Structure 1
Amino acid sequence: MRRTSMTTLSSALLALSALQISNAAETETTENAYAAGYLAGFTCSAVFNGNKEVSAIRRDELTGIYPLVADKVQQMEPEINRDHRYVRVTYDEGQRARISVWRPKLGCVDLPVGASINAIAKVANPFADAVASSGDDGAPWAERPLRLNDEQQQALTAVIDRAFGKAYGSGARTSAVLVVSPEHIIAEKYQPGFTPETAQRTWSVAKSIGASVIGAAVQQRLLEVDEPAGLENWSHELDPRRAITLENLLHMASGLDSNKAGNRTDRVYMGGGLVSDTATESALEVTPGERWKYANNDTLLALRTLRERFATLDDYLRFPYAQLLDKVGMEHTFLETDWQGDFILSSQVWTTARDLARLGVLHLNNGVWNGEQILPADWLNYISSPAPAQPPTAAPGYGAQWWLYNERFPELPNDTIAARGNRGQFLVIIPSRNLVIVRRGYDIAGEPGFNEHDFTRDVLRALAL
């Protein structure tokens, strides 16, 4: 097979992850509301999920970001209420405000435009009595690190050090790197001020976490991937969306209209909008399964499918923790929701490098943790199998909410899969090498970001010495 040039690959990956296209022209007041919501939400999550100081938030979370709001957020000041754990940001010369409020385990929820402080008491809070997580205990990894020979250690240290510079992308700003096997932490490094307990936003790595929640539901026999999603909003007998299966959604092949850029869901991400008001309302463009199109709404709809299987909102909100996160020790992971309780598992998860690595190890173990089958035994094979409709040939392939580095990429093992997110978030799983690689960052929008392909290749070469 013809070898894909890395220049072509990098251009294609950049085009797929770029966040430059807005759904439509917005009014100035709406853009101001987006900016205030962005500032409130990110400040809230960074303070209360990530324990970060305001100066670090300004440096990391609020620079090099989406151009629509980049300049505006620099002109606004967040009001942080640490006693009641919310953030408020005013806009339009103080006439209006956006509010984001924190909850245990669920992180921050952005209230809708027009909501007041009094609305905070009405937000669902099923984990109100949860005890705050302590330090990361390092499980399941052995306290004794894996012993590498001198040549391996020197080569791997050099690769990790390069990851914290510009060697893998001029716009790269690395915050954490972690390389593990199921038994050992092989390499781990953080930017100054970060620790193993410092959570940051996953962006679209959340999609693969969402797929894992779906996998846990399949294991619990709450869902079957080949059955229609069966959403209430699509239940009319004339609605052709009744044919959309959960698998279509996992494959990014719903066929729904998601505008020109399916990765732009501004109203949900920073506008205080609802999943139920946006994702469920789109009409079909093409037959389900016919076309691959990267669309946040497909992920949101997959999780909405799960929600409609539960009798109560509290049961739904508790499910990912009780059946997945808590069982594998992902104690510093926050799955954020909209204000009506739908998980925004296309992007809004805050977690640590170690918690992501734990999810990777769960997949290496074919869904087993401490002797319990949490994901179906064939789930890794399922998410790693190419979907019928695929992305452009220069890009990685696509399975079920995971990217595939198959035979198109001869420098990596064919079974390499990855969860990939904006600003350089990567969780790479290589079953044939029994290896998980995590890279976190704050890459600059519009510039070449961190090249996870080359970094993974170089880690593998160092370990092979």
Structure 2
Amino acid sequence: MLKSACFYPLAALPLLMASNLSLAAEETDTTLAAYAAGYVAGFTCSATFNGNKDAAAIREYELGGIYPLIAERVAQLEAEVNSEQRWVRVNYDNGKRSRYSVWRPKLGCVDLPVGASLDNFPHVANPFAGDKAAQQDHGGPWQEQPTPLKPSQQSALANVVDRAFSKHYGRGARTSAVLIATPEHLLAERYLEGMTPATAQRTWSVAKSIGASVIGAAVQQLLIEVDEPAALENWSHPADPRAAISLENLLHMASGLDSNAAGNRTDRVYMGGGLVSDTATESALEVAPGTRWKYANNDTLLALRTLRERFATLDAYLRFPFESLLDKLGMQHTYLETDWQGDFILSSQVWTTARDLARLGVLHLNNGRWQGEQLLPTNWLNYISTPAAAQPPEGAPGYGAQWWLYNERFPELPNDTIAARGNRGQFLVIIPSRNLVIVRRGYDLAGEPGFNEHDFTRDILKALDSASQL
């Protein structure tokens, strides 16, 4: 059953969401070299085969402007791309070692572990082998829908979008896409030169909110309940206090688990070829579940691991998000990437488009209903929008179930505004009272003020309101 649930100053948000910005590295030089090679292999693979980007764009945007932990090492590495077999190899350590990333339909690229070769790939699950990727975006649900905006509104909105593609909303901002929509109409849509509505980009932590939606689909199908214990096999010993952690604790970022000083440090999974089952499930409790809010990638990874252990087979689990949610929404250019043992890395590693994110937003505006079918519980929007018991500090957005809340703490926005947010300026903002979805994608520069989505959202609303009164 669903239970009642619900930041830091805006300038501090990149430190919460970006991996590796806040701590000096403790890894050995050998590990950092493997991380850098894995980063280049993984991002080159995903950007090439998920996003159809060329080498120059990948070097500038995917591999440029990144956090400093591995930036210098990344700049010195070259990727070998096999377009026919869809894999990428990066040699490092003077050519003595290699990292591999291999593409799979729907699941995107999987990073093989350090020491693995292409001979190991046939042992990686590939349930959609043979599926063909869509080339163009189908345009729904907005196809052939004329805009309801007056010319003055269109002009005012265009001015805001113009500013979004400048440095107006942040010195380090590099916008790649903006989309503003209602369930019926695309009000505004613009892309960086070279990108199209079918160009997928990594979501980073926007993936967390996508993951919550997958769990919502499982709740709708009575496969799981949010208030039941996570009951992971790794926590099944009768002396293990982690048995008290519920799925809801994980969705609320309130597991109480030790996630080091910065809970967003999951480098071994993100670029080291590590496993969710080797990292996230091994942490010990620090505090009682539900008593502390702490932004932690592992909480999201564990929430999805909880869902996985409800399935009889890995194949059924890997198919579930697509067959129960994404395919039904027409999210044709969305790739949910996994580790090499099949755990979704839904804390960060999703590649998708602005339109696909907007479709997910519209589903929430429609209270989980799509083309006559109830995909999410009817009260799921209310659930994810309700403040959790343990909250981030005052002066920053609140937190619900894997969604940020712009509630009474931010009077310039409607009290029901929620957002999915990710590193380098990825934002999906939903405002139910205005029947509005706002998407901004970017490649913001590490170490510089990023895109301010609060001010952008405020200015969109002002443009629509002021122009409508002319």
SS in 1 for 2:419: strand
Residue 274 of structure 2 corresponds to residue 286 of structure 1: no
Residue 142 of structure 2 corresponds to residue 120 of structure 1: no
Deviation at 1:145, TM superposition (A): 2.8
Question: Counterpart in 2 of 1:387?
Answer: 388
Question: Counterpart in 1 of 2:216?
Answer: 215
Deviation at 1:197, TM superposition (A): 0.1
Q: C-alpha separation between the residues in 2 aligned to 1:373 and 1:424?
A: 31
Matches within 5 A, 1:77-156: 77-156=78-157
Deviation at 1:147, TM superposition (A): 3.1
Question: Counterpart in 2 of 1:274?
Answer: 275
SS in 2 for 1:366: coil
1:94-117 alpha-carbon deviations (Å, 9 max, x no partner): 110100000000000000000012
SS in 2 for 1:228: coil
What is the letter of the counterpart of residue 321 of structure 1? F
Question: Counterpart in 1 of 2:375?
Answer: 374
Give the TM-score normalised by structure 1: 0.97
Q: C-alpha separation between the residues in 1 aligned to 2:256 and 2:405?
A: 21
Question: Counterpart in 1 of 2:167?
Answer: 166
SS in 1 for 2:286: coil
For structure 2, the residue ranges without an aligned partner over 5 or more in a row are: 1-7
Matches within 5 A, 1:426-465: 426-464=427-465, 465=467
Q: C-alpha separation between the residues in 2 aligned to 1:14 and 1:115?
A: 33
Deviation at 1:395, TM superposition (A): 1.2
Question: Counterpart in 2 of 1:13?
Answer: 13
Matches within 5 A, 1:19-418: 19-22=20-23, 25-418=26-419
| Preserved contact between residue 133 and residue 332 of structure 2 (Cα < 8 Å) | no
For structure 1, the residue ranges without an aligned partner over 5 or more in a row are: 1-7
Q: C-alpha separation between the residues in 1 aligned to 2:120 and 2:14?
A: 40
1:29-71 alpha-carbon deviations (Å, 9 max, x no partner): 1100000000000000000000000000001101110211111
Q: C-alpha separation between the residues in 2 aligned to 1:300 and 1:394?
A: 27
Q: Which runs of 4+ in 1 moved over 4 A?
A: none
| Preserved contact between residue 37 and residue 74 of structure 2 (Cα < 8 Å) | yes
| Preserved contact between residue 98 and residue 114 of structure 1 (Cα < 8 Å) | yes
Structure 2 CA distance for partners of 1:196 and 1:64, relative to 1, 3 Å: same
Q: C-alpha separation between the residues in 2 aligned to 1:463 and 1:46?
A: 35
Deviation at 1:352, TM superposition (A): 0.2
Q: C-alpha separation between the residues in 1 aligned to 2:439 and 2:207?
A: 14
Q: C-alpha separation between the residues in 1 aligned to 2:148 and 2:218?
A: 38
Q: C-alpha separation between the residues in 1 aligned to 2:198 and 2:41?
A: 22
| Preserved contact between residue 250 and residue 302 of structure 2 (Cα < 8 Å) | yes
| Percent identity of paired positions between Structure 1 and Structure 2 | 76
Give the TM-score normalised by structure 2: 0.96
What is the letter of the counterpart of residue 393 of structure 1? E
| Preserved contact between residue 248 and residue 288 of structure 1 (Cα < 8 Å) | yes
Deviates more, 1:15-24 or 1:115-124: 15-24
Q: C-alpha separation between the residues in 2 aligned to 1:223 and 1:215?
A: 9
| Preserved contact between residue 231 and residue 243 of structure 2 (Cα < 8 Å) | yes
Deviation at 1:119, TM superposition (A): 1.1
Question: Counterpart in 2 of 1:4?
Answer: none
| Preserved contact between residue 88 and residue 102 of structure 2 (Cα < 8 Å) | yes
Q: C-alpha separation between the residues in 2 aligned to 1:265 and 1:110?
A: 14
Q: What is the aligned residue count?
A: 458
Deviation at 1:122, TM superposition (A): 1.7
Deviation at 1:257, TM superposition (A): 0.1
